[in-house]
């Protein structure tokens, strides 16, 4: 692992510290690495997994598997239990590890969705930075036309990263912004278009129709687009993030997930539970405010950092 990657792992490990404490400080024998494993330890572990928003079903499956190994004498000590739990977490997440693959024909269109406040606009800026670093010309489209602050924030990111930017005035039709962005990207030979969208879930029916219109306009202009519908979720929302994911899946379909704010949550188990609820890979995870604090998801590194 290179220096940059190593530092990201350190931030991920630090970011998951609250979840790690919740999992293990409540289970004293595991936290201290002493004492025999018994039914009490396993029951406490199941409760801690649920509190970390791993989900009741998956938490029960993990602990039942651990209990079976314990009864067969295969978990000799607490460290063996930790190691097995780490292996199971990585195994759960590995099938969902699929980086976002930008490929021709260009432009490759990414529709970014999520409720207001999850870090959607910031995530778009960081993804643009990633793609620019891979040599792709990028265009950002300010499709959240209901909030002037969102348009301005995206403009700041476009300037910071050095990408093209398309905007209309506040209150404009989002689908018109998407249309103009795709026309501009095609004319300029842009590889990636990242389209921001509104996230007002309290007006569900309006949002649904607006999203569907944007998707229709994109598909008419570029057959097969959007190539990715990326849902941004705030990990600190825990199980509420799952409910949001289901709503957006219903509106637009979801082909990938980006999980933000893992650095401030004791709900890191949501990374696991979301795999049960939403049939989409985890493309990115974010652990801070820096432009380099969003990276492609790595199941093994996540499991290692968690334990």
- The pLDDT of residue 238: 78
The structure's pTM equals 0.89
- The pLDDT of residue 193: 98
140: three-class secondary structure by DSSP: strand
- The pLDDT of residue 63: 95
The beta-carbon contacts of 170-177 under 8 Å, at least 24 apart in sequence, are 170/145, 170/146, 171/145, 171/146, 172/145, 173/145, 174/143, 174/144, 174/145, 174/198, 174/210, 174/213, 174/214, 175/210, 175/213, 175/214, 175/216, 175/217, 177/141, 177/142, 177/143, 177/145
CATH-assigned architecture of domain 3-96: Up-down Bundle (1.20)
Q: In the chain, where are the structural domains located?
A: 3-96, 108-306
CATH top-level class of 108-306: alpha beta
pLDDT in tens, the chain (307 residues): 333 445 777 877 777 777 767 666 655 556 565 567 888 889 988 988 888 888 899 999 999 999 999 999 998 777 888 889 999 999 999 999 999 999 999 999 999 999 888 889 999 999 999 999 999 999 999 999 988 899 999 999 999 999 999 999 998 999 999 999 999 999 999 999 999 998 876 556 777 788 889 999 999 999 999 999 999 998 888 778 888 888 888 878 899 999 988 876 667 788 888 888 888 999 999 887 778 888 899 999 888 887 7
107: three-class secondary structure by DSSP: coil
- Whether the bond between 69 and the residue before it is cis, its omega within 30 degrees of 0, is no
């Amino acid at each position: 692992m290179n220096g940059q990657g190593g530092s990201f792992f350190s931030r991920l490990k630090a970011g998951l510290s609250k979840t790690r404490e919740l999992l293990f400080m409540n289970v004293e024998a595991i936290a201290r690495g002493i004492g025999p494993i018994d039914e009490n330890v396993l029951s406490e572990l199941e409760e801690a997994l649920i509190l970390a928003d791993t989900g009741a079903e998956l938490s029960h499956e993990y602990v039942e598997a651990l209990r079976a190994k314990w009864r067969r004498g295969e978990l000799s000590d607490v460290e063996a239990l930790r190691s097995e739990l780490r292996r199971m977490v990585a195994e759960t997440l590995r099938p969902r590890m699929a980086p976002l693959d930008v490929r021709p024909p260009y432009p490759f269109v990414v529709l970014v969705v999520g409720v207001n406040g999850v870090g959607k606009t910031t995530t778009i800026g960081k993804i643009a930075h990633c793609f620019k670093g891979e040599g792709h010309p990028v265009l950002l489209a300010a499709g959240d036309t209901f909030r002037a602050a969102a348009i301005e924030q995206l403009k700041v990111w476009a300037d910071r990263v050095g990408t093209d930017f398309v905007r209309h005035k506040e209150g404009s039709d989002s689908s018109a912004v998407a249309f103009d962005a795709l026309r501009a990207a095609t004319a300029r030979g842009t590889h990636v278009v990242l389209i921001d969208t509104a996230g007002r879930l309290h007006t569900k029916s309006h949002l649904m129709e607006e999203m569907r219109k944007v998707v229709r306009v994109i598909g008419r202009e570029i057959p097969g687009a959007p190539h990715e519908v990326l849902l941004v979720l705030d990990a600190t929302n825990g199980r509420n993030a799952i409910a949001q994911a289901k709503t957006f899946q219903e509106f637009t379909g979801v082909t990938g997930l980006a999980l933000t704010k893992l650095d401030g949550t004791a709900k890191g188990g949501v990374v696991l539970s979301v795999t049960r609820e939403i049939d989409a890979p985890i493309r990115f995870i974010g652990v801070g405010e820096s432009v380099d604090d969003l990276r492609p998801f790595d199941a093994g590194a996540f499991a290692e950092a968690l334990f």
